[in-house]
Amino acid sequence: MKIKYNLTKVLLICIGSMGVIFTSCKKSLELDAPLNKIDASTAYTTDATATAAIGALYNYGIYGIFNTWLANLSLLGGISSDELHFSYTTTPAISEFENNLITPANGTNGTFWGSAYAELLVANAAITGITASNTLTPSVKSQLLGEAKFFRAFVNFYLVNYYGGVPLTGSDPLTSATLPRSTSAQVYASIISDLKEAQTLLPVAYVGTLKSRINQHAVTALLARVYLYQKDYVNAEAMATAVIGSGTYTLATTNSVFVNTSTETILQFATYYGYSAVATSYRTAIATATTVPPNYTLTTSVVNSFDAGDNRKINWVDSTVSGTKFYRINKYKLYTAATAGAGNEFNVILRLAEQYLIRAEARAQQNNLSGAASDVNVIRTRAGLANLSTTATATQTSILAAIAKERKVELFGELGHRWFDLLRTGQANTVLSVIKPTTWNASRSVLFPIPDQQVQQNPALTQNPGY
Amino acid sequence: MQKSTKNGALFSLCPIGKIPLVMKLAFTLIVISCLSVSALPVRSQDVKMSINLKNAAISTVLKNIEKSTPYKFVYNNNVFPANTKVSIEANSLSVAEILNNVLKNSGFTFKLLGDNMIVVTKADQRVQTQRIAGIVVDEDGIPVPGVTIRFRNDKRTSTATDANGHFGIQSADDNDVLIVSLVGFKTQEFAVKNIPSNFRIIMQSSIGSLDEVQVIGYGTTTRQLNTGSVSSISVKDIANQPVSNPLAAMQGKLAGVQITQNNGLPGSGFRVQIRGVGSIGSGTLPLYIIDGVPFTLFNGSIPATDGLNAYGISGANGGEASPLGMINPDDIERIDVLKDADATAIYGSKGANGVILITTKKGSAGKTKYSVNFYQGAGTVGHFIDMLNTQDYLAMRRGAFAASGATPSTANAPDLVTWDPTAYTNWQQKFIGGTAHTTNADFSVSGGNAQNTFLFSSNYRHDGTVYPGDFGGNIFSNRLNAGHNSEDKRFGINLNVNYAYQHNVMPSTDLTSLYNLAPNLPLYNADGSLYWHPSVTNPMAYLMRPNDNTTTNLITNMDVHYDILPGLVVKANLGYSLTGEKQTLQTPLTSLNPSTVNLAAPSNTLRYANNTISNYIVEPQLAYRRKIAKGSLDALVGSTFQRTQADGLSLTGTGFSSDALIGSINNAAAIVNNGSNNSDYKYNALFARVSYNWEDKYLVNGTFRRDGSSRFGANRRFGNFWAIGAGWIFTNESFMKDISWLSFGKLRGSYGLTGNDQIANYQSDAYYNAVGSASSYQGQSIIFPSNIPNADLHWETNKKLDAAVELGFLKDRIFLKADYFRNLSSDQLLNIVVPTQAGISSYLANFPAVVENKGFEFELSSTNIQSKNFRWTTSVNLTIQRNKILSIDQPQKLFSTYYIGQPVNAIQLYHFTGLNPATGVPTYQDMNGDGAVTFAGDRSAAPLGHPYFGGLTNSFTYKNLTLDVSFLFNHRMGYINNSSSYPLGVGLSNQNATALQRWMTAGDISVYPGVTSVSTADYSNYNSSDANWGDASFIKLKNVSLNYLLPNQWTKKIGFNTVSVFARGENLYTWAKQKYTYDPESTVSGAAPGLGTGQFIAMPQLRTTVIGLNCTF
């Protein structure tokens, strides 16, 4: 039976060759990254891709989470304190912040927490990736690593102030997922360590125009604030002096502080369209001739704190003209623009005025009352006001009170300053228990709750007291 | 004469020494039968010749004869011993006389065959040859060309009928069996020795019979011998329905298969479910294969849809275009749906959701046939929702304000304060009350001969809409099919090329959604300009925002095969498809409320999207067939190389200086890239199937596939899938021969393992994403870590069990197929929630949850009456199935809430405990007793009842008149009033007639809550309570087709083969328990995957009637 023999041979050859083909299949299943993605292992191999990865820290999508987070830094802090009022009580997720009675299931709080960590993952991945990379140009590597460390410190700073000690996460998501909380001191140590390293890594010169990339002064400015919060007044003063004394920045007139060409800005995050996402969140309607209240109205507590003739009230506050008068934050004035360019507005993160107020407070705390007064007066002069009265500068207590009030009217609506000032100076209970007598709780309300879903999913997370 | 003798040289030029004589003879006979077409037979007594040779070899003598006469000799080259020399001297003798002389004492003899062929063999070898000639006709006596004629034993000899149905073939063995076959007809066998001269064979149509060819994965079988669960529809069922998408023709026809259309607009998508939902979170799309080419528009987008639109724009039809909308139903020969493991395991990790095999028409040998099919008709919305008139509407609104003590103002109640209280517009009539015109024209030419076949076809179709304005869709497609077989039939090749172009223009929004506009809403101001109110978009604006959608589709495939050895065939399937969808969506300034338009920076926009998906597949295969003992063995091995690439761009242009320039994105002041798609998918497999059939009694079928997909993780990229199927045709047992009423009985069963791979691409490895220009930072693009990699990511495992009985009664006049199935899907591909402190909130992984789908399927067909002039047939299908989550490990790791023991898509409802008779406010049961009715704690699973679905088709033929009537039905529980919103009167929305039965005054007994202008959770929960849940069953009169075939004698006179005129109706009537929706099967495109339930307002499938003409010549 010759046929059978041939057949077996042919069959064997065919099956054999298919086997060979198939074993070679495995290789052909390997895919290159699609054109709109790159393989994680190559993200930090070139200056261009590493820079793109750092770009994500600045703009995790214009409609994405980081911008919402930035806006919420200002808004949630604002309504938690005595600064802003949220008009739509039918949206309990936000009203709960105003009442300092946040349910752990609050969705806005959950997103706020999650967005911070999404940003931290990008920063941590960049720090790990850039550190490990040996193909980057040294100056670029230093710049990018510095920026990533700044961002990690920046986000951790807000997390520790809103939530207390939080998990210090790393670049591997599944490892980070189960970490417990670190103590508040550990988080601050990490922040200071990151910022100090960033200071040495970053040059004084900005990359590009419009001060929208982090430079050494920006790191120093944030470090000044961190030291102030830590009550390390010597270092706080030193850092603020370094920024003020650099001569790079000068105070702008009040109507041009938030323009992206402002001489006062130390750091701003550019936006794609050239207007601030924070600004658009403040209000529902652009026109003043409306009966509809804006999303967030400025409280009378802030409005009444301005001295007569304060240019900041004139230029930074406006109000609706029909029906009930609603005061609105008017620091940012652009609500629409086609594309970003010089003369538009970005999200201002750090500016010179805060540095004067930090130094004033640090000096006052060190009993350098005249030094403190001169710093406050710089700010008052720019606002078109007279110097502090002699009564105000008479004692440490009185000048600290003057500084606190100056911060209230200078920094309102910006990145939660008022809320943190009340907390770190121990004023929160005194001030807020009066305004919100039924809902304020001295032990609970000073921290936001850890989102309950997170506590369920990560048993190592402990809830804040009172929740 | 002289010329034809050259053919004789063939034999001496081709030494075929070592092959046994039998084979040579067989080969010869093939050549003979082929040559017989050209060579004129010569009578031996007519040819005389002279010859004079001394001591010559016999072969020399024969060569001499070949030179001088038309005869050709057939003999084995070294058969004549070298020492045998002959001498011959002849003058004008017949060839026969010469040969008799020469071979007299040589031990050789000869035989004269037809066609001047003379076989010389050893004297003791008896050659039994018989020429068989005849004609093949169909049941109507019309000759059938292209019928294959072959032998059971002599595999090398075959022929096909010519254009007139004639054939001639030479049999070398009296004991052989002649096999007569053609796709679509029953195969017949005849013992050669009993075949009469001038044999007349009558072919019987095999459709519906046990010999009907059943297409399965990588091959065919018959209904009789199939061991798997396959449901099919053929050309007849498809051709009867005036639909543009073949999936529409399948609705209600197949057991276990549920198909709903998203909406009734041209180009809208379909949802198909075969034996339920196996996957909790990943795709449930069946695998579509057209002539061997996988065809889907699923490009790794999530949720899985068959629409390129996942990265595009949607217009009123949702844009979730069904890929099969690009396949002309008239081009389809049959559709086979594979359901159980036996049938689907050969598709490995793609088989879990079932497989739909589409076989297109091929050319067939015979006289060139021209076919024209034309119809034209009109469609309307079959059912409108009964809404309140102006008077009742305004009363409801006033009541709402009175109830809450609020004051109507121009801002919150323009309908009460400013609009004309006597005005009334029936919005449904105005916006969806029109008539959609349909025109469809098909033209095809087919034909060929035994070796070459061809088919050209072309289709034009226009579908209008019921909207006002010039909206609608056009399809134009062309197709070519060409086939070739080598003379010896060992080599064959078949090519299909299909190109289709579809152009739809739709409004941006489905105008069906305007049904609840306030009936006194003014459209125009006194000066004729559009009226605008801050709370209401002027509905005329939607008509000004066209969505223009152009889809093109190329699908091509080539099959080649070559018979290496008897029974061994090597073949390959090569396919390529390319689908593109280009869309624009205009929002001109004129369609915007002028009070919100910033004229300095015009906010008119053009959205532009262009997506393509291309796919190639290469499948080399080896098939082997032989008899072993009393059975026949079929084996197949093959491998698959497939790659699918998708590419897309989505832009938004804004700031056109004039609406006149809005047509092109080039004219925009600013262009934003909304993010684009780019993906690549690779897939390889090795597969094998072995089946063994013992005397048509015992059938065993084993399938194996090992495949790898680029979607899976490095550790689990390749998986093994398999199935075993078996059948026992007990009626072929001798002990069953006496039971005459049972003509056929088969038990079959199968068990096996398939997989599901419908997840997004690029989930297993770590990537950094780049995003659109709007996410750049100062002009520099950004990248960020986008996923948590999972190297263990693999297919969803689907274990399928099927047990069935197939019974034919009364000579198969009644045929019943009943299946029990149970599919268990595990390794569920789901997004696993991780604490957000990870930075990414979830990742795709295989999750230990098990979903069960089980049920019964019945398909019954019967010929109720069969007389000379009248025939009545009925086919029914019924499916009873249940879907249940059997287990979930750690449910907290999932995003959404799923319940063990409930279906995957379980609905949780509040329990309505009646209205507060004093206030008309609905109340609910506080299930957890915490004093408040909450979303989290006070809902329970909606009752499911005993759902079943199916279809019923009756076909009546009286002489030349045929009437087909099809129903489909679905018995189910569901939402029963989806177009009321509570509280009634809270906004500017009209309500349906149930609002008239609402609670009005204290003490009223009603189930419909009262009015108020202030919404509370009690009211808004009402639609999510069991007050809005109940029997949502329906029956649709899906299709009626009346066909009249003009008498043959008339059509012959005008030169046509057949002419028929017909009238067809689609979606003629729906009996639905749910009166407050348009179509109980519609859904909103982009909504969660799953079948349409009519819960959302969408354009219904239209009530369409057409008349047309079909002729062939």
d(CA B24, CA B1025): 82
Of the pLDDT bands very low, low, confident and very high (cuts 50, 70, 90), residue B814 is very high
Minimum CA–CA partner of A177 in chain B = B838
pLDDT of residue A22: 57
Interface mutation vs chain B, best among A21, A22, A89, A211, most B CBs within 10 Å: A22
User: Which residues share a beta bridge with A409?
Assistant: none
Interface mutation vs chain A, best among B777, B788, B893, most A CBs within 10 Å: B777
Minimum CA–CA partner of A114 in chain B = B836
CA distance B421 to chain A (A): 27
Residues contacting residue A91 through CB under 8 Å, at least 6 positions apart: none
pLDDT of residue A117: 93
C-alpha angle A30-A34-A36 in degrees, rounded to nearest 5? 160
pLDDT of residue B18: 44
User: Which residues share a beta bridge with A159?
Assistant: none
> What is the DSSP code (8-state) at residue B531?
P
Of the pLDDT bands very low, low, confident and very high (cuts 50, 70, 90), residue B34 is very low
Mean pLDDT of chain B: 87
pTM: 0.83
pLDDT of residue B208: 65
- Specify whether the CB–CB gap between A109 and A449 falls below 8 A: yes
pLDDT of residue A16: 64
Mean pLDDT on B844-849: 93
pLDDT tens for residues A342-352? 888 999 999 99
Using an 8 Å CB-CB cutoff, list chain A residues near B893. 457
pLDDT of residue A10: 61
Q: b/e per residue, B996-1017, with b = 16+ CB within 10 A?
A: eebbbeeeeeebbbbbbbeeee
pLDDT of residue B889: 85
d(CA A368, CA A387): 17
pLDDT tens for residues B892-938? 676 667 888 999 988 999 999 999 999 999 999 999 998 889 888 89
pLDDT of residue B309: 77
Any idea which of A1-5, A289-293, B364-368, B625-629 has the lowest mean pLDDT?
A1-5
More confident residue, A435 or B25: A435
> CA neighbours within 13 Å on the CB side: how many for B97?
13
Does B320 have pLDDT greater than 90? no
pLDDT of residue B601: 66
More confident residue, A34 or A439: A439
More confident residue, B969 or A329: B969
Given A36, A451, A457, which is nearest B770 (Cβ)? A36
- Can you list the positions of beta strands (E) in B27-173? 48-57, 72-74, 85-94, 108-112, 117-122, 130-137, 148-151, 158-160, 166-171
Of the pLDDT bands very low, low, confident and very high (cuts 50, 70, 90), residue B217 is very high
Task: Report ipTM (2 d.p.).
Answer: 0.90
Cβ–Cβ gap A31/B766 under 8 Å? no
Does A434 have pLDDT greater than 80? yes
Minimum CA–CA partner of A112 in chain B = B836
Amino acid at B462: H
Cβ–Cβ gap B767/A37 under 8 Å? yes
Given B638, B782, B843, which is nearest A52 (Cβ)? B782
Using an 8 Å CB-CB cutoff, list chain B residues near A37. 678, 762, 767-770, 786
Mean pLDDT on B135-149: 80
pLDDT tens for residues A353-409? 999 999 999 999 999 999 999 999 999 999 999 999 999 999 999 999 999 999 999
pLDDT of residue A15: 61
pLDDT of residue B895: 62
Does B114 have pLDDT greater than 90? no
Burial of B1076 from C-beta contacts in 10 A (0-12 / 13-18 / 19+): buried
pLDDT tens for residues B1023-1040? 999 999 999 999 999 999
pLDDT tens for residues A131-170? 999 999 999 999 999 999 999 999 999 999 999 999 999 9
pLDDT tens for residues A52-107? 999 999 876 434 567 788 888 889 999 999 999 988 777 788 889 999 999 999 99
pLDDT of residue B41: 38
pLDDT of residue B36: 35
Does B188 have pLDDT greater than 90? no
Burial of B422 from C-beta contacts in 10 A (0-12 / 13-18 / 19+): exposed
Given B565, B679, B768, which is nearest A10 (Cβ)? B565
pLDDT tens for residues A286-338? 555 556 677 888 999 999 999 999 999 999 998 876 667 888 888 988 877 76
Mean pLDDT on A178-184: 96
pLDDT of residue A271: 83
Cβ–Cβ gap B834/A174 under 8 Å? yes
pLDDT tens for residues B428-480? 999 999 999 999 999 999 998 878 999 999 999 999 999 999 999 999 999 99
3-state secondary structure B1095-1106: CCCCCCCCEEEE
pLDDT of residue A364: 97
- Phi, psi at B487, each rounded to 5°: -55, -40
d(CA A41, CA A37): 12
Of the pLDDT bands very low, low, confident and very high (cuts 50, 70, 90), residue B115 is low
Minimum CA–CA partner of B645 in chain A = A34
N-terminal to C-terminal alpha carbon distance within chain A: 87
A448: left (phi over 0), alpha (psi -120 to 50) or beta: beta
Given B655, B682, B782, which is nearest A56 (Cβ)? B782
Does B70 have pLDDT greater than 50? yes
> What is the DSSP code (8-state) at residue A99?
T
| Tokens describing residue B40 | 């004129």
d(CA B278, CA B280): 7
Residues contacting residue B614 through CB under 8 Å, at least 6 positions apart: B576, B577, B578, B579, B644, B645, B646
Mean pLDDT of chain A: 89
Residues composing chain A? 467
Cβ–Cβ gap B768/A40 under 8 Å? yes
pLDDT tens for residues A231-274? 999 999 999 999 999 999 999 999 999 999 999 999 999 887 78
Given B598, B762, B777, which is nearest A336 (Cβ)? B598
| Tokens describing residue B999 | 């609670």
Burial of A248 from C-beta contacts in 10 A (0-12 / 13-18 / 19+): middle
d(CA B748, CA B804): 5
pLDDT of residue B776: 79
Tell how strand B814-826 and strand B796-809 pair up: antiparallel
3-state secondary structure B205-264: ECCCCCCCEEEECCEEEECCCCCCCEEEEEHHHHHCCCCCCHHHHHCCCCCCEEEEECCC
- Specify whether the CB–CB gap between B545 and B585 falls below 8 A: yes
Of the pLDDT bands very low, low, confident and very high (cuts 50, 70, 90), residue B1 is very low
Does B773 have pLDDT greater than 60? yes
Mean pLDDT on A9-30: 63
Q: Over pLDDT 70: what percentage of chain A? A: 88
d(CA B683, CA B1079): 39
Amino acid at B482: A
d(CA B767, CA B765): 6
Burial of B480 from C-beta contacts in 10 A (0-12 / 13-18 / 19+): middle
Given B638, B639, B680, which is nearest A34 (Cβ)? B680
More confident residue, B81 or A95: A95
| Tokens describing residue A380 | 């008052």
Does B989 have pLDDT greater than 80? yes
Tell how strand B366-380 and strand B1103-1112 pair up: antiparallel
